[in-house]
Structure 1
Amino acid sequence: MDELGRFRQALVAWAAGGTGASAAAVRARELAGRGVHTVVLVEGSSDQAALEALAARHGRDLAAEGVAVVPLGGATNIGRFLDVCGPAGLGLPLAGLCDIGEERHFRRHLERVGLGSALTRAQLEKLGFQVCVADLEDELIRALGADGVRDVIAAQGEARPFHTFQNQPAQRQRPVEHQLRRFMGTHSGRKALYARALVSQLDLGRVPRPLERLLTHV
């Protein structure tokens, strides 16, 4: 594991609290001092995969730049991570990405730790926190188009599993865009796999706004 990976690991342990939190805080502070310049807080590993894949397409290596993309393991954990990364913790520059349904959690805790007051969507974006409508998978599907996403699924060797999924009684009458989103979440690791694969096929002139703005910010 590289230093940035160890930093993420220490950060997660610190945010989790408990008996090992003090030691994890010491490790996180030490590792942050070796070149971590920005922490990007995202809901899950698929968001991390998409951002890092987009950066690579622009010739950027976020890890080499000292940008630590940290999955929260769910948006409701944002408060704990802001406590350890924000002004009262490491005091590092922050950015992030969330789904529209979780925007309230991000806004409330950003305000709580002193990074704003009565934050609007525009103010969140100025801070570096972008909001997906409805989530990143939805953003990527709209950007690439349903046919383009099906091509990516076929390239992954999953055309037949997707067809089987479409024919499930609960899915038959749903729009194909909904089917695509649900399919990506049916197996562990599939969201991250498709986040990378979809970003690799995007026209760089059609990158979803939240993703593009987040990369520009960091």
Structure 2
Amino acid sequence: MLETTVLVEGESDRLAVEMLAKRLGHDLRMERVSVVPMNGATSIVRFLDRYGPHGAGHRLLGLCDFGEAAGIGRALMRAGMGAGPLEDHGFQVCNADLEDELIRCLGVDAVLDVIADQGELASFELLQRQPSLRDRSVEGQLRRFFGGRSGNKIRYAPMLVNALPEGQAPPPLARLVASFES
């Protein structure tokens, strides 16, 4: 069985992918799937050299933010994986980022429930009152909440995935995990 390496931008993405895979009944170790955070999409060349066709020869999949998609595409092409849409190469693209996808999939109220369960609703409400954030949408404020404090993305990613209703997941994340079976 061919080893599969899933390249993701960061640790929060790794945790979200692994949590959804677990919820869907995947045993990543048995399926020989490793989710590898690159510590930023700009590091992809190093990971393609290590795991790609000129390295270990693993089956490669990935998840990236829209803003990083063009760079990922160029890196895949340079690594000999061809041109074309990222999805054709097993890479799924989030509209903005994974947190944005999770917020839209869950809905604001469910996300606020997760924050409240962690005792941080007052902290979020304080953030909402900051002059630079007052005019942003609640979704934008939530993205700032998750991305603004060190460790929040990592802490909340698995909780947000765990809060998803059964059978519901952001499309890029759902397609990525479904491709583990291919």
CA contact (8 A) 1:36 1:67 kept: no
| Amino acid paired to 2:146 | M
What are the Cα deviations for residues 107-162 of structure 1, in whole angstroms up to 9, with x where unaligned? 00111111112x12xxx213210000011000000000111110110011111111
Could you list the runs of 4 or more consecutive aligned residues of structure 1 that deviate by over 6 angstroms after TM superposition?
none
CA contact (8 A) 1:41 1:95 kept: yes
Superposed counterparts of 1:27-176, under 5 Å: 37-117=3-83, 119-120=84-85, 124-176=86-138
CA contact (8 A) 1:36 1:68 kept: no
Count how many residue pairs are aligned between Structure 1 and Structure 2. 180
In structure 2, list runs of 5 or more residues that go unmatched: none
Could you say what secondary structure the match of 2:148 adopts? Answer: coil
What are the Cα deviations for residues 71-104 of structure 1, in whole angstroms up to 9, with x where unaligned? 0101111111111111111111100000000001
**Structure 1: how far apart are the matches of 2:70 and 2:88?**
16
**Structure 2: how far apart are the matches of 1:160 and 1:136?**
24
| Amino acid paired to 1:147 | D
Residue equivalent to 2:151:
189
Query: What's the CA shift for 1:36?
Result: 7.7
Residue equivalent to 1:199:
161
Could you say what secondary structure the match of 1:149 adopts? Answer: helix
In structure 1, list runs of 5 or more residues that go unmatched: 1-34
- More relative contact order in 1 or in 2 (CA 8 Å, sep 6+)? 2
What are the Cα deviations for residues 162-191 of structure 1, in whole angstroms up to 9, with x where unaligned? 111111111111110000000001222210
Q: Normalized against structure 2, the TM-score is what?
A: 0.94
Larger Rg: 1
Q: Normalized against structure 1, the TM-score is what?
A: 0.79
